[in-house]
Structures are given as C-alpha cells and as structure tokens.
A = this chain, B = another copy of it.
Amino acid sequence: MGKRALILFAHGARAASWAAPFERLRDLVRAQQPDVDVSLAFLELMSPRLPERVAELVAGGVSDVTVVPVFLGQGGHVLRDLPVLLDGLRAAHPGLTVRAVDAVGEDPDVLRAMTEYCVKALGAA
C-alpha cells in the first residue's frame, strides 16, 4: 500500500498574509497525523495549484489523496471547479485514489465554533 496524503484545498489570494490561518490549520493537522503527508494547495493566485501538488505527491509515491475544501460556502469553486479538477487528476493519474469531502463550512462543529466566536464578539462590546 502506497503513502497517503491530505490536501487542504483553499482559494488563494493576492496577499501572502491571507494564507496564515490555512498554514496554521495544516500544521495542526500534521501534528495529529504524522504518518500522512499534509499540505496546502490552491485554486488560484497562490502556489502550488492542486494539479501541481498532486503530481508532486504521485512522484513521491503517494497512492491515496484526500482533499478537504477549506471554504466556508459551497459555491462555484467547490461545486463546479473542484469536480473538474478532480476529474483531471483521475485522468492524469490512473493508479491514484482521489476523494474529496464536503467543505469545512458544512461541518456542524465548525459552525458551532463560529457561532461561539460571533457571540463572544458581542460580549466584548
């Protein structure tokens, strides 16, 4: 069985500072999953893009990739762009298993943590 990888797939932005929370997320997941290759990949504006990152992983012996869309809303990027990218990855790497889960914004625990943050924002008034 080949190595496994987890890709945190984010939008990307012009400002380098934008990526900071995604890098923290990557580091937190890495610390909990030392046997999995955990990395970021972007839709646009930042590197590496998803196809580039997956090609590197496959070259390094990874045979199983899980993609987590680190998006709050499931709009065109998650519902339309990502499936097209995944189809392209499967065509380019026939031996690779690629799976994507729902966007992080769909997770009830993430929503709950955001709710508490909003309520705290009021309390700080």
Residues of A near any B CB (own CB < 8 A): 4, 6, 8, 10-11, 13-15, 17-22, 24-25, 28-29, 32-33, 36, 38, 64, 66, 68, 70-76, 79, 99, 101, 103-107, 109-119, 121-122, 124-125
Contact = CB atoms under 8 A, between A and B. Distances in A.
A29 B73 contact: no
Contact of A72 (B22, B29, B125): B22
State the copy count for this chain: 2
A32 B4 CA distance: 41
Contacts of A79: 15, 17
27 contacts: A4-B125, A6-B122, A13-B73, A15-B75, A15-B76, A17-B73, A17-B74, A18-B76, A20-B73, A20-B74, A21-B74, A21-B105, A22-B72, A22-B73, A24-B111, A28-B112, A29-B115, A32-B119, A33-B119, A36-B122, A66-B122, A66-B125, A68-B121, A70-B72, A71-B72, A104-B114, A110-B114
